[in-house]
Structure 1
Amino acid sequence: MADERHIRIEGDAAGNIIITGNANRIEVMPGMRTQEPEAPAIVSAIGPNPYVGLAAFTERESERFFGREQQTALLWQIFRGLYTDVPEASPGQTTPVRVLPILGPSGSGKSSLARAGLLPELAKRPLPGWQTSRVVVVRPDAHPLEALAVMLARLATREAAPVAKTREFEEELKRRNQAGDYDGLRRIVDALPGIDTSPLIVLVDQFEEIYTLCQDTTERDQFVANLLHAAADRSQHLSVVLTLRSDFLGQTQQHPDLNRLIAAQGVIVPAMSSAELRDAITKPAIYANPPLDAATVDLLVAETDGREGALPLLQFALERIWEGMAHGIPPAETLRGIGGVGGALASEAQRLYDRLTPEQQLVARRAFLAMIQLGEGTQDTRRRVEIADLVAHAEEAEHVRHVLRTFAGRDARLVTLATEMDGTDWAEVTHEALFEHWADLREWLDRGRTDLRFHRRLTEAARNWQEQGRPDGSLWRSPDLDLLQAFHRRAGDDMTAGEVEFMSLSATKARRAWRLRWLAVIGLIVLTLAAGGMAYVAQLSSRQARVAEIRAERRFNDVRELANSFIFEFHNAIKNLAGATPARELLVRRALTYLQRLSQEAEDDLSLQRDLAASYLGIGDIQVSTGNVDEAAKSYQQGLKIFERISQANPTNVQAQRDLSVSYDKIGNIQAATGETQGALERG
């Protein structure tokens, strides 16, 4: 349906938004489909609610986006200049970079200005030579390269979830060219059909997520480098619009080129004037019918003007006022009931929370905390979370969804539910204003930050373990396992089924490894004592054996050291006794059996590996003294292999190099004694 500003907004079957106007067409490809709340059953005498609450305005709501006409015109003029104010190329001249940064504090309306202001304006007033343009909206999240690759793959294939093409594009984005530049984005865009006549705009919304959510600095750098390289290409196939919270300007110094661009080309979104606020309040109501009364408008302007981050609070209050009008409640009465513009959000959140059962309140608390990214020297920010990660191990997914829908309903929309094109369901707090103003949520945050940080680390570890094929090497060991088990005792009900399984298998592996190590060590001691005729050890009562086991568990390292020394000291004590050779040979055979079993559990323990290697060399010495030179060579080789692995893992470790040298000497001595002169010389 056409509006007074001469544009037409429609959606296609794939969920894209088509804006047409003045012989121009802009296709906007959003990252997700928002799950719209169910319409109320009541039949209202007034028009549909024209206010968006905490959510940002998008292209779909542009006909209700008022009060920012001056800023929209300014953005259009600056964006136009990125394409038209390009000097002729000359030697040594730097190519202009088509990046438009839109900056402002939380709640200033950056995203709304970009999506409901600039993009529709480009449809209404196309740039010279533009007839069609394409826009991909990218939220960086924890993996910005993947997020960008997904949108590019969808654009290139027109498929909802092109998995193979996404992987291909992600690899392209990670690759440098011969000059050392990350030019993957430029190459991908250059290959898009019709790119010469249909340029691409990459709108990176909430750019600060590359610093708050992305923990991989390499991926972060590659993402920024790809954007800047493609935006500087003289083909003018691509431009970048990004929205960034101004309190994250300091973080952009990690990328000096980007930081300088922001300083030179960034647009700071100013606070709305009283007149602009009045337009934002009154004009949508006129569009929907009926208009708000003058007294209510004056009060809303007075409570909003000059208040930082107040725009989402104003929209939320207006949304509640309109809902009240639909039920016949006067605006002034609704405004008093919700505590004015400043109190509306907190009172509504508390009202919905108090309606829940105690069990549902636990779900709500866990979900809201999970949807907050804890600031490290910066303010906390919102965080998108896969709904599956909000389901604790003893819960049903539908139970969690029901609680989330309570806060995502049409009369609240404190939480936004969305679905990716591959069917993955996500949830996020609609605006940071929620945890800035809701007292209970702030208290939960202040009380549980340490556990929250640990839980995030656990979630990431469990997810990586699953994605890597569940290898034993990715399971946790002490001290991480000890911390995890303590966390489980405190907050086990908040852990997902995958996290509980990760903990359980980590503990199982740790117990199995300890038992095998303990059995091997105790076996060596028992065998050594038995070889000396001390058979009474085998007759210990079960109670005594348990006491011995507990003591061995507490002092495993002492027991291991005892076994390693005792077996060889015992051998040295009996080696010159008449008739001791059979006992010595039995000692060697059984010791090798236990060493082989122990070596299977020593892969991740360098200290245990070194003890094993030293034991193999010691066994080899005994075998040489009993005349079993061939077997001694095998034992020496076994010890050498272990020492080589240790050396490769610690190439600068002096002790590891000494151990290697000792192994080479022993093998060289055997080769020399058996006539393998060449091998001995090579070892030497």
Structure 2
Amino acid sequence: MARQERPLEEGDSAVLRFAADLRELRRQAGQPTYRELARHAHYSPTVLSAAAAGRKLPTLAVTLAYVRACGGPVADWEQRWHELQEPEPADGAEPPYAGLAAFQPADAERFFGREAVTEDLRGKVARQRFTAVFGASGVGKSSVLRAGLVAGASDPASVVLFTPGPRPVEECAVRMSGLTGRSPAALAEELTADPAALHLWAREVVAEQDLLLVVDQFEEVFTLCRDPAERARFIEALLLAAQAETSRARVVVGVRADFYPHCARHAELARALRDGQLLIGPMSTDELRSAITRPAVRAGYTVEGGLLAEVIADATGQPGALPLVSHALLETWRRRRGCALTLSGYREAGGISRAIARTADAAYQELTPQRQRVARELFLRLTALGEGTEDTKRRAARAELGTGQDMTAVLEHLAQRRLLTVDAEFVEIAHEALIRGWPRLREWLDADREGLRTHRALTEAAQTWRSLDRDPSGLLRGTRLATAQAWAASSGFSLSAEEQALLDASTAAEDLERTGERRRVRRLRQLTAVLVILLLLVSISTVAAVSNAISTAQQRDHALAQQVLSQAAELRAVNPALALQLGIAAYRLDPSAASRSSVLGALATPYSTTLGGFSALVQTVVYDPKGHFLASAGDDSSVHLWDITDAHHPAELPALTGPHGAVMSLDWSGDGRTLVAGGHDGKLTLWDVSDPHHIGASSTVDSKLKAVFSVRFSPDGKQLATAGYQPDGDSLRLWEVTAPTRLSPRPELPKLGTVMYFVQFSPDGRTLASVDSQDLSGHEAIVLWELADPSSPRLIRRLTDGPDYTFSVAFSADSRELAVAEVNNSVRLWDISSRESPRPVGTLSGYANAVRSVQFVGSGRLLATGSDDSTVRLWDATDPDAPQALATLTGSGRTLAIAASKDGSTLAIAAHDRVVRLVDLNQFVEPVRTKGETYAIALSGDGRMLARVDRDAGIHLQDGNSVRQLTPLGLGPGAGGTAVGFGATGHLLAASFFAGDSQVVGLWDLDRGIGPVRITVPLDSTSISLSADSRVLAVGTSLFDLSDVEHPKQVAKVPAKQGLVSYVAFNPRTRALVVGSDRDTTLWDTSDLTAPRKTASLGVASGAGAYTVDGSTLAVAARDNSVRLWDLGSNTELAKLSGHSDVVLSLAFSGDGRQLATVGEDHTLRLWDLTDRRAPKEIATIAAHGDTIRAVAFTPDGHTVVTASADHTVRHWETDVDLAIAQQCRLVWPVMTQAQWEQYLPGLPYEPPCPEAA
């Protein structure tokens, strides 16, 4: 007979009530014995009995096990436990961990784990006078600078440490005033006038030791400083202080890694960075172990082994995990058991993924509703919205926040909870990890980002107005005022006194102007009545007034359109659909060159459709084999399904539930029947998704891992590989798939390491690649396994053996190459055609942070990579030894996962902003990728064939979708293509190459299959041209008779004595030839081939030229970067076209002669309207390529332009705005809402740019 349970003690404490309710739950379950409960709960009867004894609150894990065993509502009990559970009361002890705050110089004694980096930095600073420390947010840069470098300075008096803030020159002056003894105002004025002043101050104040000037959070000069001139002066001052010949300063700046491109845009700073930078990566396992255990041991505490292992597993390889670890350990310390920091305390705190959120939510919930509103607005004020980068913290002056009782109480409360850093002057968020890790704050930020941008613009305008002593010139006017008024009226956001004063004064000034306008109108009417006899004059005045009114409206529309275009550019990365529609709306409002350029260039990068509504970070995405469905999952424990049959109009399906804790990896079986998920709870969940609209059976399997990081099906679907964390090193496992939702474990593999990040099968199913963070020998390793016998995989080769972490790998479609994403800001390509002897080939570089994801797309020619620098980059890997960058997609926050559909048509991207983007790789302006630089292109008369010559002396002919290389001329190394042209009928093709000191031309008769016929002449030009009848070829100034194509005969040489000839071109209607050179441009009559006759000299040096189809007009590219138009009938200059910022290299007329396209060294394609050739107008400028554009051509349809660039691409561009808009409207979803319209185009009637998209 079961022993009677001891009655609860008398009393009404919360713990006793909790225990009584546990007993009641057990009674409702049929009063099972504790021995019976133990079989289901996996805890001993003694532990379960103690949980309901009422003597102390049981741990969360025991509570939930008890509840599950009794069939109770787990979520309700978990919430109740958290409401009851309180950290151990403070005993006055100093915590061993800093939490979210950075370590300060005074914290040096408890700063562990970064000793090696600190020594590297000290050595670098000792050797050179300028050093930039780069690293991801949360990697510990500030702590290394403060508790490492500054704390170790031999003379603290010669150290100046500060963050730049919105006024970096002023901040520098304030900090230096303490050393110089002069007023900050005087120093700021001096430094503004002369950036060299900082160098002189350093020489003035130092004695024996150089001045150590440390600028932490240097990215604030880009995020908070809005004055480009002040930013430039501050950077110049730092560089002069460090680089002057008599320098006595050593300058160190700490910069978030995703701001490297911002630094690189400053020429002098970029030069300083070449040798003066130190990259801080994520902590190694040993460094993490030191950072976790040594502060605790120093303070007299112990760390449980299970806690140490779990924290390391959670944090390893995550660049931004350090503040999360520190905060989670601080909360664990608060839940300590005596002197022990326990795993249960860590889990109760929420671990590194949820501790910050729980602390912040608890602090927020402790406030009254009124003070919660104050806290919400405070956090929004203290966040700087990212522009192509992650959101960052913003330091705000106390004066901006006000001194009300509620604000003061909220500041004290949040500072006590270590969420804010507060001093006498400024307030800021303790660490940017709070912005990333607190879902509530992310929701606030994402709810109205454009509204927050409007508010931030109002804040900055108020600060500017104050700096101008409230001069009327600083007031808001026009659309800026209207936008601010609309936002302030609708948002309910509390404005600061300064912001409200600016808004009131601006509104009053506008009202005064309107009153004055009404008075003027009234006086005008009175005057009209008095002067009725002067009706004719009044009529004239009325016409003028109407004209002025129209002009005013046009100016208003132009100003609003410019603002909308700017907003569209900001939104392009985060909300492409809205950005496209705003660009279209701006064009319709004001069809200017700028708005037309925006529309025509909008699809130069791939367009994406956004999938939103996620409540937490999305860690993994996967397509079904047919590309009709997408699954995503992450920190919210749910698996989301989408029907993407129409990728531009996705439909969300009911979410799948099952896993407990974050889901880190998903995979879809090759037959499409099974979806598997693995995550932090160590379980595998499988669903039958034969019909994703109607989910079938599901099952849960214990993975035998403490946490699952990666799951992958074999191509035939018969095996499943899992990788994760297992303390005994058995972190890689294989399973046999016996049914869609049933698994059977295969024999254990050799133990490699405690943490396995990633696993991947090759497409041919013969090889498995596994990625360890550290193997048992202490090194990172990528291992290739042979799967000839699935029941006994054979370890073939360790691919790498070094200190750098690898996040993921991807096999090419033919299984012959492997791409490896590495933490050292690169992707390495390996040739693994021989599995026994793999060899490294090309490297993909240029990233500002670690590369987390890599994926071959489609056939394997295209490679996609996702990085922590907030970019996804597309590469052409046709030549693995020399991969070529094709496009960079800038997102919102670091890229967490990417996946490609099997046909390569779409790419799914999950980023830190909790949005999944479906990038359409078909609909953007698809470039033709070339192996070498393309030097020239030509289109046949009917537009069917495109010929191009490359730097490698190859000539390629594209007909429709097929590309073939014509028989090469065998010119040997060092030769390169220079020019190409079709005859008028399209059957004759000529191409020019340089080889040594000769020019070699190849001729092909494409109809008769003749060629190449080779012509060699001395190198006096690199240009060729065929006459209109294809019977004469000009090779530079040499003329060849092609009556017999197989035996061309040189008949004459144009006696042009004008220096190096840049180009020659025949008139499309006559035998007239233009010869352009660095001295002059001349025209020649070659009707008599034996005696060419000069007919005109234009008197302008030119490097390129083109005729209209009718031969009446010539355009030449002058050496001053302009283009000149000449009327050949009268031999007079019609117009000069200016706009290019560098040399123009190629020109082309449309078939009707009404448009001209020009390209050159400035990487732009410019379109000109020549309807009136004496007054041409630039109608569009498109940033068409990432390098010099060497050639341009119009297709016969008249609205498509082809460009060829040194960036190894040939692109096609739509020049008809209406056709471009129609194409874009077929893509956009969702349609721009009325609320969005009113936000971006206030005061205009709602006219959605793409109504048909609804």
* TM norm. shorter chain > 0.5: yes
Please report how far the alpha carbon of residue 295 of structure 1 lies from its aligned counterpart in structure 2 after TM superposition.
2.6
Residue 240 of structure 2 is matched in structure 1 by 229
Change (3 A) 1:305 1:532: closer
Is 2:142 the partner of 1:137? Answer: no
Please report how far the alpha carbon of residue 133 of structure 1 lies from its aligned counterpart in structure 2 after TM superposition.
5.2
Change (3 A) 1:102 1:220: same
- Confirm or deny: 8 A CA contact 1:103 1:110 kept in the other structure: yes
Is 2:367 the partner of 1:356? Answer: yes
CA distance in 2: counterparts of 1:168 and 1:480, whole angstroms? 34
Change (3 A) 1:480 1:122: closer
Is 2:109 the partner of 1:67? Answer: no
Residue 283 of structure 1 is matched in structure 2 by 294
The amino acid that maps onto 1:294 is G
CA distance in 1: counterparts of 2:281 and 2:341, whole angstroms? 32
Please report how far the alpha carbon of residue 562 of structure 1 lies from its aligned counterpart in structure 2 after TM superposition.
6.4
- Confirm or deny: 8 A CA contact 1:133 1:199 kept in the other structure: no
Q: List per-residue Cα deviations over 1:621-675 (Å, max 9, x = no partner).
A: xxxxxxxxxxxxxxxxxxxxxxxxxxxxxxxxxxxxxxxxxxxxxxxxxxxxxxx
Residue 631 of structure 1 is matched in structure 2 by none
Q: List per-residue Cα deviations over 1:354-379 (Å, max 9, x = no partner).
A: 22222222111111111111111111
The amino acid that maps onto 1:483 is T
Matches within 5 A, 1:558-569: 565=541
Change (3 A) 1:362 1:190: same
CA distance in 2: counterparts of 1:293 and 1:314, whole angstroms? 15
Residue 123 of structure 2 is matched in structure 1 by 77
- Confirm or deny: 8 A CA contact 2:150 2:156 kept in the other structure: no
- Confirm or deny: 8 A CA contact 1:140 1:210 kept in the other structure: yes
CA distance in 2: counterparts of 1:533 and 1:260, whole angstroms? 75
Change (3 A) 1:307 1:479: closer
CA distance in 2: counterparts of 1:338 and 1:563, whole angstroms? 80
Is 2:359 the partner of 1:341? Answer: no
- Confirm or deny: 8 A CA contact 1:44 1:327 kept in the other structure: no
Gaps of 5+ in 2: 1-86, 546-551, 556-1254
- Confirm or deny: 8 A CA contact 1:72 1:121 kept in the other structure: no
Please report how far the alpha carbon of residue 528 of structure 1 lies from its aligned counterpart in structure 2 after TM superposition.
4.1
Deviates more, 1:323-332 or 1:167-176: 323-332
Q: List per-residue Cα deviations over 1:172-213 (Å, max 9, x = no partner).
A: 22334xxxxx41111222222xx2324211101011111111
Residue 500 of structure 2 is matched in structure 1 by 500
Deviates more, 1:397-406 or 1:237-246: 397-406
- Confirm or deny: 8 A CA contact 1:373 1:380 kept in the other structure: yes
CA distance in 1: counterparts of 2:174 and 2:243, whole angstroms? 22
Change (3 A) 1:329 1:562: farther
Residue 407 of structure 2 is matched in structure 1 by 400
Please report how far the alpha carbon of residue 110 of structure 1 lies from its aligned counterpart in structure 2 after TM superposition.
1.0
- Confirm or deny: 8 A CA contact 1:58 1:112 kept in the other structure: yes
- Confirm or deny: 8 A CA contact 2:304 2:341 kept in the other structure: no
- Confirm or deny: 8 A CA contact 1:346 1:437 kept in the other structure: yes
The amino acid that maps onto 1:183 is A
Residue 321 of structure 1 is matched in structure 2 by 332
CA distance in 2: counterparts of 1:386 and 1:503, whole angstroms? 20
CA distance in 1: counterparts of 2:159 and 2:469, whole angstroms? 36
Please report how far the alpha carbon of residue 505 of structure 1 lies from its aligned counterpart in structure 2 after TM superposition.
2.2
Residue 457 of structure 2 is matched in structure 1 by 457
CA distance in 2: counterparts of 1:184 and 1:43, whole angstroms? 50
* RMSD between superposed Cα atoms in Å: 3.0
Please report how far the alpha carbon of residue 284 of structure 1 lies from its aligned counterpart in structure 2 after TM superposition.
1.0
Residue 1248 of structure 2 is matched in structure 1 by none
Provide the TM-score with structure 1 as the length reference.
0.63
Q: Give SS of 1:241's match.
A: strand
Change (3 A) 1:442 1:199: same
Residue 252 of structure 1 is matched in structure 2 by 263
Q: List per-residue Cα deviations over 1:517-549 (Å, max 9, x = no partner).
A: 322331232244246699xxxxxxxxxxxxxxx
Q: List per-residue Cα deviations over 1:459-504 (Å, max 9, x = no partner).
A: 1222222332222332222222222221121124421232222222
- Confirm or deny: 8 A CA contact 2:332 2:349 kept in the other structure: no
The amino acid that maps onto 1:245 is R
CA distance in 2: counterparts of 1:303 and 1:389, whole angstroms? 39
1:185 aligns with one of 191, 198, 222: 198
CA distance in 1: counterparts of 2:463 and 2:267, whole angstroms? 33
Residue 16 of structure 1 is matched in structure 2 by none
The amino acid that maps onto 1:188 is W
Please report how far the alpha carbon of residue 403 of structure 1 lies from its aligned counterpart in structure 2 after TM superposition.
1.4
Residue 206 of structure 1 is matched in structure 2 by 217
- Confirm or deny: 8 A CA contact 2:163 2:215 kept in the other structure: yes
CA distance in 2: counterparts of 1:301 and 1:56, whole angstroms? 20
The amino acid that maps onto 1:187 is L
Residue 172 of structure 1 is matched in structure 2 by 190
The amino acid that maps onto 1:266 is Q
Residue 278 of structure 2 is matched in structure 1 by 267
Change (3 A) 1:474 1:242: closer
CA distance in 2: counterparts of 1:562 and 1:347, whole angstroms? 74
Structure number with higher relative contact order (C-alpha < 8 Å, ≥ 6 residues apart): 1
The amino acid that maps onto 1:417 is V
CA distance in 1: counterparts of 2:379 and 2:107, whole angstroms? 27
- Confirm or deny: 8 A CA contact 2:136 2:281 kept in the other structure: no
CA distance in 2: counterparts of 1:132 and 1:390, whole angstroms? 33
CA distance in 2: counterparts of 1:294 and 1:475, whole angstroms? 62
2:420 aligns with one of 399, 415, 420: 415
CA distance in 1: counterparts of 2:431 and 2:341, whole angstroms? 27
Change (3 A) 1:508 1:199: same
CA distance in 1: counterparts of 2:284 and 2:245, whole angstroms? 39
The amino acid that maps onto 1:68 is R
- Confirm or deny: 8 A CA contact 2:203 2:247 kept in the other structure: no
Residue 442 of structure 2 is matched in structure 1 by 442
CA distance in 1: counterparts of 2:502 and 2:444, whole angstroms? 26
Residue 140 of structure 2 is matched in structure 1 by 109
Deviates more, 1:336-345 or 1:313-322: 336-345
Please report how far the alpha carbon of residue 141 of structure 1 lies from its aligned counterpart in structure 2 after TM superposition.
1.0
Residue 119 of structure 1 is matched in structure 2 by 150
Q: List per-residue Cα deviations over 1:153-176 (Å, max 9, x = no partner).
A: 12211xxxx6xx222222222334
Q: Give SS of 2:213's match.
A: strand
1:100 aligns with one of 125, 131, 156: 131
The amino acid that maps onto 1:109 is G
CA distance in 1: counterparts of 2:228 and 2:219, whole angstroms? 14
Please report how far the alpha carbon of residue 512 of structure 1 lies from its aligned counterpart in structure 2 after TM superposition.
2.1
Change (3 A) 1:531 1:241: closer
- Confirm or deny: 8 A CA contact 1:388 1:397 kept in the other structure: no
Q: Number of residue pairs matched?
A: 461
Q: Identity over aligned residues, as a percent?
A: 35
The amino acid that maps onto 2:407 is V
More strand by share: 2
- Confirm or deny: 8 A CA contact 1:522 1:563 kept in the other structure: no
2:342 aligns with one of 331, 345, 350: 331
- Confirm or deny: 8 A CA contact 1:382 1:429 kept in the other structure: yes
Change (3 A) 1:474 1:492: farther
Change (3 A) 1:326 1:210: farther
Q: List per-residue Cα deviations over 1:121-180 (Å, max 9, x = no partner).
A: 333xxxxxxx675111121111111111111112211xxxx6xx222222222334xxxx
Change (3 A) 1:531 1:187: same
CA distance in 1: counterparts of 2:461 and 2:126, whole angstroms? 46
Q: Give SS of 1:494's match.
A: coil
More helix by share: 1
Is 2:84 the partner of 1:53? Answer: no
CA distance in 2: counterparts of 1:477 and 1:381, whole angstroms? 29
Q: Give SS of 2:152's match.
A: helix
CA distance in 2: counterparts of 1:328 and 1:59, whole angstroms? 27
- Confirm or deny: 8 A CA contact 2:105 2:150 kept in the other structure: yes
Q: Give SS of 1:479's match.
A: helix
